[in-house]
Structure 1
Amino acid sequence: MAKVITYGNFKGGTGKTTNSAMMAYMLSKLGYKTLLADLDPQANATSLYLRTKQRITNDVVTFNKTLMSAIADEDLSDIIIEIKENLYLLPSFADFTSFPLFLEKKFPDSQLGRVTFLKGLIDKIKDDYDYILIDVPPTLSTYTDSALLASDYTIIVLQTQERSLIGAEAYVGYLQELIDNYDANFDILGVLPVLLKNNSKVDEATLNTAKEKFGEENLFKNLVKNMERLKRYDIIGIVDSDLEGKHDIHDKRVMALYKKVTEEMINRLDEIESQKKD
């Protein structure tokens, strides 16, 4: 059964989409059957993965239905597509902006019914995957509530700047509210630092502050460095030297970095799971 992980921060532009997409990609390379669920109406993760699929297979994907129509039919599997071996996408569409209104109409008298509806749909497909990673908007919203209440874990993505740190702190407070209000059952898997600028004193100072606020043991030891190559992937799709037979050192560095980060995520998860059994 899949472990469901939501990536979050209330500050936009921290790298949630990039990191959830790259870590899902790396999980698939490590042999885990992985689904990236794009629960952000902006659909940036969807665009990245469709470009990646086109890069790998030369296929241009068309859909017969949208995420909202799949939700209305209560069957997410209808629109899940394979990107490559072991990697799948639950795509988002512009009409997903109507999700909160849909829930209000479906559950006019039950806030709990609204925020747990998506969990029921995700639970139906959990047996099909080893991991389900969820990308959500950087807002306190129905999307984030629904994703977190469907999750086993959350990763806080922290860009090394003051506003991102404030957003991360607000996110942690919000997580506690969900636990208190809905008896939510998820754990924080860790805080993933994303460097705004490599070898910067400001970044280093923000990291030190984050260690004080969250505890050094809760920060990923492997940092996501600022890599210009990642920005290109939004335009051309993820470049995988192993699949394409190319040997570009920059692409190899990206994959090497995310291999370390993803393996640390797996180790963190295994540690928490073993502690639960004890």
Structure 2
Amino acid sequence: MAKVITFGNFKGGTGKTTNSAMIGHELARQGHKVLLIDLDPQANATALYLLTKQRLEDKVVTFDKTLMSAIAEENLEDIVLEIKDNLYLLPSFADFTSYPLFLEKKFPDSQFDRVAYFSKLITPLKSKFDFILIDVPPTLSSYTDSALYSSDYTIIVLQTQERSLVGAEAYVKYLQELIDNYHADFDILGVLPVLLKNNAAVDISTLENAKESFGEQNLFKTVVKNMERLKRYDLIGIVDPEVDKSADMHDKRVLNLYKNVTTELLERLDEKGALNNE
């Protein structure tokens, strides 16, 4: 049964999409069967994975239906797309902006049913994957509520700047509200630090403040450094240096970084006893 993990922060631009996509890619590379669900109408994770698939297969992907169509038909399996071995995508589309209105019309008298609906839709998918990772917009919204209610864990992606720290702290408070109001059953897997600038004084100061705010044991020991190569992947897709002959030392550094991040993620799950049923 899949472990469902949402990547979140109420501050935009912190690296949620990049890190959920890269961790999903690395989990799949290690042999785990992974589904990335893009619950952000901006569809940045979708664009990154489609470029990755296009890079591998040299063809453009087209779809017969959108995420909203699949949701309306209550069958998400129809639009799950294989990106590469062990790696799959539930893509987002521009029309996904209508999801909150769809929920209001479907459940006019029950906020709980709106929040819980997506969890029911992904239930058939859980037996088909080892991990389901969810990328969400940086907002208090139906998208975030739906993802978190569906999740076993959440990872807080913390860019090392004050606004991101404030957004992360607001996110944690909201997590507790979801638990209190809807009896959501998930846990914080950890806070993943993402450097704005490598070894800058502001980054170091923000990390220290985060340790005080969240507890040092709750921060990932592996820190995601600022790497220009990650920005390039948004244009060309993810490069796997173990199969792509065009890869260089920068791609290898990215691979090694996410090997370390993913190893720590698995260790944290193991400490919680979440891997015992694999």
| Structure-2-length-normalised TM-score | 0.98
Secondary structure of 1:242's partner? coil
Q: 1:30 to 1:221 in 2, by over 3 A?
A: same
Q: Give the aligned partner of residue 202 of structure 1.
A: 202
Asked if 1:260 corresponds to 2:248, the answer is: no
1:225-274 alpha-carbon deviations (Å, 9 max, x no partner): 00000000000111111121344000000010000001100110111126
Q: Give the aligned partner of residue 131 of structure 2.
A: 131
The aligned amino acid for 2:186 is F
Q: 1:275 to 1:75 in 2, by over 3 A?
A: closer
Q: Give the aligned partner of residue 181 of structure 2.
A: 181
Rounded to whole Å, the distance in 2 between the matches of 1:181 and 1:247 is 48
Rounded to whole Å, the distance in 2 between the matches of 1:276 and 1:236 is 37
Q: Give the aligned partner of residue 50 of structure 2.
A: 50
Rounded to whole Å, the distance in 2 between the matches of 1:246 and 1:55 is 11
Rounded to whole Å, the distance in 1 between the matches of 2:140 and 2:119 is 18
Question: Paired residues, what number?
Answer: 277
Q: Give the aligned partner of residue 217 of structure 1.
A: 217
Q: Give the aligned partner of residue 92 of structure 2.
A: 92
Rounded to whole Å, the distance in 2 between the matches of 1:40 and 1:252 is 29
Secondary structure of 1:192's partner? strand
Q: Give the aligned partner of residue 69 of structure 2.
A: 69
The aligned amino acid for 1:119 is S
Distance apart, 1:276 and its partner CA:
10
Long gaps (5+) in structure 2: none
1:89-126 alpha-carbon deviations (Å, 9 max, x no partner): 00000000000010111101111110000000111110
Q: Give the aligned partner of residue 271 of structure 2.
A: 271
| Structure-1-length-normalised TM-score | 0.98
Q: Give the aligned partner of residue 8 of structure 1.
A: 8
Q: Name the % identity.
A: 72
The aligned amino acid for 2:216 is E
Secondary structure of 2:148's partner? helix
Q: 1:117 to 1:207 in 2, by over 3 A?
A: same
1:194-232 alpha-carbon deviations (Å, 9 max, x no partner): 000001111000000000000000000000000000000
Q: 1:26 to 1:99 in 2, by over 3 A?
A: same
Rounded to whole Å, the distance in 1 between the matches of 2:250 and 2:274 is 36
The aligned amino acid for 1:204 is I
Secondary structure of 1:61's partner? coil
Secondary structure of 2:254's partner? helix
Secondary structure of 1:205's partner? helix
Rounded to whole Å, the distance in 1 between the matches of 2:150 and 2:77 is 16
The aligned amino acid for 1:7 is F
Q: Give the aligned partner of residue 112 of structure 2.
A: 112
Rounded to whole Å, the distance in 2 between the matches of 1:61 and 1:246 is 23
Rounded to whole Å, the distance in 1 between the matches of 2:224 and 2:244 is 24
Q: Give the aligned partner of residue 78 of structure 1.
A: 78
Long gaps (5+) in structure 1: none
1:147-190 alpha-carbon deviations (Å, 9 max, x no partner): 00000000000000000000000000000000000011000000
The aligned amino acid for 1:90 is L
Q: Give the aligned partner of residue 36 of structure 2.
A: 36
Distance apart, 1:275 and its partner CA:
11
Rounded to whole Å, the distance in 2 between the matches of 1:187 and 1:273 is 12
Secondary structure of 2:14's partner? coil
- Which 4+ stretches in 1 moved above 4 angstroms? 274-277
Q: Give the aligned partner of residue 157 of structure 2.
A: 157
Q: 1:69 to 1:184 in 2, by over 3 A?
A: same
Q: 1:86 to 1:274 in 2, by over 3 A?
A: closer
The aligned amino acid for 1:108 is P
1:16-39 alpha-carbon deviations (Å, 9 max, x no partner): 000000000000001000000000
Rounded to whole Å, the distance in 1 between the matches of 2:261 and 2:241 is 19
